[in-house]
Amino acid sequence: MAGQLKEVRNRISSVQSSQQITKAMKMVSAAKLRRAQDAIIQMRPYAKKLQEVLSNIVSNTEGDVSIKLAEQRNIEKVLIIVITSDRGLCGAYNSNLVKLAKASILEKYHEQYKKGNVAIWNIGKKGYESLTKSGYKTSDTYKDIFLNLTFENVQAAAKAAMTAFENKEFDAIDIVYSEFKNAATQNFHCEQFLPIPKVEKKAGATKADFIFEPSKDKLIAELMPKILNTQLYKAVLDANASEHGARMTAMDKASDNANELLKILKVSYNRARQAAITTELSEIVSGAAALEG
Amino acid sequence: MTLEILTPEKKIYSGEVLGIRLPGIEGLFEVFDKHAPLVSALTKGKMKIIVDRNTSEHFNIQGGFVEVLDNKTTVLVEGATVVD
């Protein structure tokens, strides 16, 4: 009896210390989330407008200028940039991203995959580990961006991707990442990075006759890389905020679960204690009765 | 016309204005009401927002782009600071 009592007491204290850890992690994630969220929310209108300007130019200059980065080629070699987190303990966040990456390879690029022409660049350690284990052609060049999240680092990755596309090392580049919606919700996306997707022209809309200054070519040459840098940077910021949001939610749930567990354990602890007391009492009573008798 | 000034950090201006003077890559130029559609690269320099006949605001900008379409002007700059 006493043995069981001690056992339950040990369980309770171990659950309590786990709960302390999950609570602390939740607080840390909440603080980090606030920072990540600010960065992404402030950055979003800028990125969106840049994208619009680009789309306007591309659809207004069709046939006039050849834009290397918008060139539609026969897709033979594919690159997928998968943005995951460096650390676990954030619920199904990483496994959802990996699942999406695998699904899009299977659906969109099945032919290319069979020929071994699908490459993956990983940003974030977790996705790298999991996809490498599954036997995909992964590269870890930009794996550690989250260790030092600056615009320059992301820019380097974007630049490398653009150069590779221009040199025809890849014919299509996709990004798999999760868009931050709120702390509890992430939207997982597989987005085309290159070639730049053309915007559908609105029905009935006349082609706006843009004045370009300086020349179209020069302008586009300057605009393109900036836009793509921003696009990738936005994806990375989104992913960062999503990660902290996912971790916060996961840790919140873990703390709740620990509470539930503690409740159950406390009931069984009290029951064991009660049983021990009852036994002891009856021993004393029967002992006394034996003496009297 | 409607004016919007965006940077990666935040939106720094939004509202109705009379016009705006911008440091284009090939020289200063101004955009007023009902300007033709325009896309231009901007260089580092001073930007002047003409709010109405008597008031204006000045910014130092780090270079970027401007787009004018449907009487809406959007300035995209990488950094901007207010000049008194």
Q: What is the pLDDT of residues A235-257, one digit of tens each?
A: 999 999 999 999 999 999 999 99
Read off the tokens for B19: 């016009």
Residue B45's Cβ-side half-sphere holds a number of Cα atoms within 13 Å equal to: 16
A:B CB pairs within 8 Å = 67
| Structure confidence at residue A240 (pLDDT) | 92
Report d(CA A241, CA A36) in Å as an integer: 5
C-alpha distances (whole Å) from A254 to each of A22, A250, A273, B17, B71 are 7, 6, 28, 53, 53
Q: What is the pLDDT of residues A84-116, one digit of tens each?
A: 999 889 989 999 999 999 999 999 898 888 888
Most confident region among A21-30, A52-61, B24-33 by mean pLDDT: A21-30
Does A258 reside within a domain?
Answer: no
Q: What is the pLDDT of residues A26-41, one digit of tens each?
A: 999 999 999 998 888 8
Q: For residue B14, what is the domain's CATH number?
A: 2.60.15.10
**Contact criterion met (CB < 8 Å) for A210 and B26:** no
Q: What is the pLDDT of residues B14-35, one digit of tens each?
A: 999 999 999 998 889 999 999 9
Query: Does residue A90 have an active-site annotation?
Result: yes
**Contact criterion met (CB < 8 Å) for A53 and B6:** no
| Structure confidence at residue A63 (pLDDT) | 56
pLDDT exceeding 70 applies to what percent of chain A?
92
Per the residue annotation, which of A36, A40, A47, A90 is the catalytic one? A90
Does A83 reside within a domain?
Answer: yes
Does A165 reside within a domain?
Answer: yes
Report d(CA B73, CA A144) in Å as an integer: 39
Which residues from chain B sit within 8 angstroms of residue A50, using beta carbons?
Answer: 65, 76
Which residues from chain A sit within 8 angstroms of residue B26, using beta carbons?
Answer: 213-214
| Structure confidence at residue B48 (pLDDT) | 93
| Structure confidence at residue A218 (pLDDT) | 78
Q: Is A57 on the interface with B (CB under 8 A)?
A: yes
Classify the complex by whether its ipTM is higher than 0.85, answering yes or no: no
Q: Which residue has the tokens 């007391």?
A: A277
Report d(CA A107, CA B18) in Å as an integer: 52
Q: Are A83 and A175 in contact (CB under 8 A)?
A: yes
Report d(CA A109, CA A115) in Å as an integer: 10
Give me chain A's average pLDDT, please: 86
Q: Are A233 and A36 in contact (CB under 8 A)?
A: no
Does A280 reside within a domain?
Answer: no
The sign of the torsion formed by the CA atoms of A127, A129, A133, A136 equals positive
Q: Which residues of chain B have pLDDT under 50?
A: none
* Domain with A151 in it: 21-251
| Structure confidence at residue A206 (pLDDT) | 47
**Contact criterion met (CB < 8 Å) for B41 and A50:** no
Which residues from chain A sit within 8 angstroms of residue B8, using beta carbons?
Answer: 42-43, 46-47, 151, 230, 233
Task: Give yes or no for residue A65 having a pLDDT over 60.
Answer: no
Domains identified in chain B, total number: 1
Does A289 reside within a domain?
Answer: no
SS3 A120: strand
Which residues from chain B sit within 8 angstroms of residue A47, using beta carbons?
Answer: 8
| Structure confidence at residue B47 (pLDDT) | 93
| Structure confidence at residue B49 (pLDDT) | 93
| Structure confidence at residue A53 (pLDDT) | 79
| Structure confidence at residue A290 (pLDDT) | 92
Does A269 reside within a domain?
Answer: no
| Mutation to test the B interface, candidates A41, A50, A207, A220, most B Cβ within 10 Å | A50
**Contact criterion met (CB < 8 Å) for A213 and B26:** yes
Does A9 reside within a domain?
Answer: no
Higher pLDDT, A203 or A10: A10
Q: Pick from B68, B76, B82: which is nearest to B10 by CA? A: B76
DSSP 8-state code for residue A206:
P
The identity of residue A116, as a single letter, is: G
| Structure confidence at residue A199 (pLDDT) | 57
**Contact criterion met (CB < 8 Å) for B40 and A210:** no
Q: Which residues pair with A182 in a beta bridge?
A: A185
Q: For residue A231, what is the domain's CATH number?
A: 3.40.1380.10
**Phi and psi for B81 in degrees, rounded to 5?**
-125, 145
Give every CB contact of residue A236 below 8 A, 6+ residues apart in sequence: A83, A123, A145, A146, A149, A154, A177
Please tell me which residue of chain A has the smallest CA distance to B69. A208
| Structure confidence at residue A221 (pLDDT) | 77
Report d(CA A144, CA B24) in Å as an integer: 38
**Contact criterion met (CB < 8 Å) for A49 and B25:** no
Q: What is the pLDDT of residues A162-202, one digit of tens each?
A: 999 989 899 999 999 999 888 888 899 898 888 877 655 54
Higher pLDDT, A68 or A5: A5
| Structure confidence at residue A223 (pLDDT) | 79
Residues of B with a Cβ under 8 Å from any A Cβ are: 4, 6-11, 24-26, 29, 36-41, 65, 67, 69, 74, 76
Mean per-residue pLDDT, A147-155: 81
* Domain with B23 in it: 2-83
Mean per-residue pLDDT, A205-213: 69
Task: Give yes or no for residue A222 having a pLDDT over 90.
Answer: no
Task: Give yes or no for residue A67 having a pLDDT over 80.
Answer: no
**Contact criterion met (CB < 8 Å) for A208 and B37:** yes
pTM over 0.80: no
| Structure confidence at residue A203 (pLDDT) | 41
Task: Give yes or no for residue A204 having a pLDDT over 50.
Answer: no
In which region does residue B15 sit, left (phi positive, over 0), alpha (psi from -120 to 50) or beta (all else)? left
Domains identified in chain A, total number: 1
Q: Is A246 on the interface with B (CB under 8 A)?
A: no
